[in-house]
Amino acid sequence: MVGTLFCVSALRLGIAAPSAPGPGLIPFGAAALLVLFSLGTIAEALFTSKREEALPAIISRRSWAVFTVLVVLFLYALFMPRLGFVVATFLALACLFRLSEGQTWKRAIGASLFTTLLTYLLFSRLLGVGLPQGLLEFAGF
Amino acid sequence: MDIFTGIIGGFSTCLTPMNLLYCFIGVFVGTLIGVLPGIGPVGTISLLLPATFHVEPVSAIIMLAGIYYGAMYGGSTTSILVNIPGEAASVITCLDGYQMARKGRAGAALGISAFGSFIAGTIGVIALMFLAYPLATAALRFGPPEYFSLMCLGLAILTYLAHGSMLKALSMAMAGMLLSFIGLDSITGLPRFTMDMVHLMDGVGLVPVAMGLFGISEVLINVEETVQRDVFKTKIKGLLPNREEWRRSRWPILRGTIIGFLLGILPGGGAVVSSFISYGLEKKLSREPEKFGTGMIEGVAGPESANNAAVGGAFVPLFTLGIPANVTMAVLLGALMIHGLIPGPMLIRQAPQVFWGTVTSMYIGNVLLLLLNLPLIGLWVKVLRIPYRILFPLIILFCLIGAYSLNNTTFDIGVMIVFGLVGYLMKKFQYEGAPLLLAFVLGPMMEQALRQSLLISHGSFAIFFTRPISAIAMGLAVALIASYFLPALRDKRLNLEE
């Protein structure tokens, strides 16, 4: 599907001729090969005797942990500019530490607070990385 | 500038206090991430790349190169003490290294691994110095068709050596290439595949893609699996191998060095393949092959030497042709370009201090690694005991800061998360990330070389088969890919893989 989309877009860009290659010529070639190899992979899976080891289960007992990490990361990317680095990182890390087996909310919050302040001092104050201040702008964080 | 003037200049560059500090940071961080399973040199180099934007290019490359060869040293520690490889290149060391540790010879295994790595690393650097200069001079005569064919060969070898289906690896290579075309066309200036997003006009960033594919995805897999790490409890003593162990190790070290360096030069091979081949060779040459896997020191000395020598070899195509031999080198190539350097035959002439400074820093780095790995082994064992539940939020945090600090925008964080998810799914469905990332880095160079070649030949693809070097490289690339479709040869490849 991705290959086909790229093929169509590359054709719109114009492939011109090999003697005067247009901006779409080489992407079109790569996309066509992607379609070809993907069809080959499907055919291989369907028609040949497989010697590959069995695929690991896509959904496992702890898939929820993966899902939670991803949700936390997406929310972090979405709200970090508004909340600021310190607040967003503190909240995200608290959730991630809590995700670990055997961690209580109290310990997770403590570890998150310590790590956030340490990384803020290291990256923002020491290395001069420009991190958004957000809600704590008034306090100079 | 001749080789000896270059070496002297290189030492005067790398021995400045600041560059020594960067070298130390590089090898220290490299050993640390080598010891810690869960993040490899690709992820770490991508992570630290933004931190080097404000330093001199030579210091940045010295540090980033240090991470790569430092990781090779550190990777063996976990293989020997925990039976879990810290690095893919140390997988084979688990077989005999861990058994040696169980028999009370953990010190000797760690010792021979460090000394073997030091000897191989140093010989690899010497070979790199003497080979790179003449090769770069010869490469000045290469034109776009030669470059295009060599890059095709690199991708073909990488996909051939990829784990599992070659068709999957080829698909990933094409996907990586398409990804690299996103942004403004370098010749016409037309936006391509940008979906009218301003952030995509400059293309997709290498760092967020690499951090996502090799950092975040690794974390997601580990969060799901919760691997138990039982560190070997006995006290580690006697890090110096005895006379008998040295006698048994000297030839494996030498053979591993030669194999590692030569395979390191070849695109796609590198440290992992050379360590496996070295192990296989030692087993074949041994008078007691049946004892391999029960704690044979040859099974540690050979592969550990091979993976370190491969590092020196991998720098040869990067510095002389501007073609990365593996994914780590692809990220280093990106680092060179971000610092305004053009990797390839002109690098040695236009930025000699970067080439010679980096190469000579590897001597210093190897000495530092020997000092770090033997007396500080207790520290690395303590690092190994840090539970993953504490490590993973920190790895994620550093990835987030690294991605954000590139352009001070959360768009790069979004790209990193998306590729983290893509990398996670790729691992689940047994697709490899290496062909994708290598093609992503090579894509724009391949496109430019192909377009130039077609303009030279007035649209004839025969140009790739009429020039000798190009014809050999392209012929090999076609043969490798075609071999997958011949049942007899495909079975051979699968047997080799097993």
Q: pLDDT at residue B494 above 70? A: no
DSSP string, B174-242: HHHHHHHT-EE-TTT--EES-TT-GGGTT---HHHHHHIIIIIHHHHHHHHH--------SPP---S--
Burial class of residue B388, CB neighbours in 10 A (0-12, 13-18, 19+): buried
Strand partners, B184: B191
Residues of B in contact with A128 (CB under 8 A): 54
For residue B16, what pLDDT is reported?
92
B178 in contact with A at a CB cutoff of 8 Å? Answer: yes
For residue B420, what pLDDT is reported?
92
The DSSP call for residue B92 is T
- Answer whether B31's CB lies under 8 Å from B70's CB: yes
Candidates B8, B17, B42, B96; CA nearest to B327 is B42
A60 in contact with B at a CB cutoff of 8 Å? Answer: yes
The arithmetic mean of pLDDT across residues B368-374, rounded, is: 84
User: A118 to chain B, minimum CA–CA distance in Å?
Assistant: 11
- Answer whether B270's CB lies under 8 Å from B314's CB: yes
The arithmetic mean of pLDDT across residues B43-57, rounded, is: 81
pLDDT under 70: residue ranges of chain A: 48-57, 101-102, 127, 139-141
Interchain pair A123, B390: CB under 8 A: no
Place of tokens 């000798």: B468
Phi and psi angles of residue B191, each rounded to the nearest 5 degrees, phi first: -70, 135
B62 pLDDT band, cuts 50/70/90, is: very high
The arithmetic mean of pLDDT across residues B370-392, rounded, is: 79
Instruction: Compute the C-alpha angle B327/B161/B255, nearest 5°.
Output: 90
Q: pLDDT at residue B352 above 70? A: yes
CA dist A102 and B482 (Å) reads 53
**Chain A contacts in chain B segment 364-423 (CB below 8 A):** 387, 389-390, 392-394, 396-397, 400-401, 404-405, 408, 410, 413-414, 417, 420-421
Q: Which residues of B270-293 are buried (b: 16+ CB within 10 A; e: fewer)?
A: bbbbbbbbbbbbbbeebeeeeebe
For chains A and B, what is the number of CB pairs under 8 angstroms?
Answer: 155
The structure tokens listed for B387 are 């539970």
Phi and psi angles of residue A112, each rounded to the nearest 5 degrees, phi first: -65, -45
The structure tokens listed for B437 are 């990332």
Candidates B274, B315, B342, B269; CA nearest to B130 is B315
Interchain pair B192, A23: CB under 8 A: yes
For residue B255, what pLDDT is reported?
94
Q: pLDDT at residue B294 above 70? A: yes
ipTM higher than threshold 0.90: no
Candidates B341, B278, B267; CA nearest to B304 is B278
User: B133 to chain A, minimum CA–CA distance in Å?
Assistant: 33
A130 in contact with B at a CB cutoff of 8 Å? Answer: yes
Percent of all residues in chain B with a pLDDT value above 90, rounded to a whole number: 15
DSSP string, B350-393: H-HHHHHHHHHHHHHHHHHHHHHHTTTHHHHHHHHTS-HHHHHH
Per-residue pLDDT of B404-460, as tens digits, reads 887 888 898 999 999 999 999 998 888 888 888 888 888 888 888 888 888 888 888
B218 in contact with A at a CB cutoff of 8 Å? Answer: no
- Coil, helix or strand at residue A61: coil
B64 in contact with A at a CB cutoff of 8 Å? Answer: no
Instruction: Compute the C-alpha angle A92/A98/A100, nearest 5°.
Output: 115
User: B243 to chain A, minimum CA–CA distance in Å?
Assistant: 43
A104 in contact with B at a CB cutoff of 8 Å? Answer: no
User: A103 to chain B, minimum CA–CA distance in Å?
Assistant: 9
Interchain pair A80, B404: CB under 8 A: yes
For residue B332, what pLDDT is reported?
87
Interchain pair A19, B455: CB under 8 A: yes
The arithmetic mean of pLDDT across residues B69-78, rounded, is: 82
- Answer whether B345's CB lies under 8 Å from B46's CB: no
Per-residue pLDDT of B86-142, as tens digits, reads 677 777 888 888 888 888 888 888 889 889 988 998 898 888 888 888 887 787 778
Q: What is the pTM of this model?
A: 0.78
What does DSSP say about strands A16-17 and B191-192: parallel, antiparallel, or unpaired?
unpaired
Identify the closest residue of chain A to B459 by CA–CA distance: A19
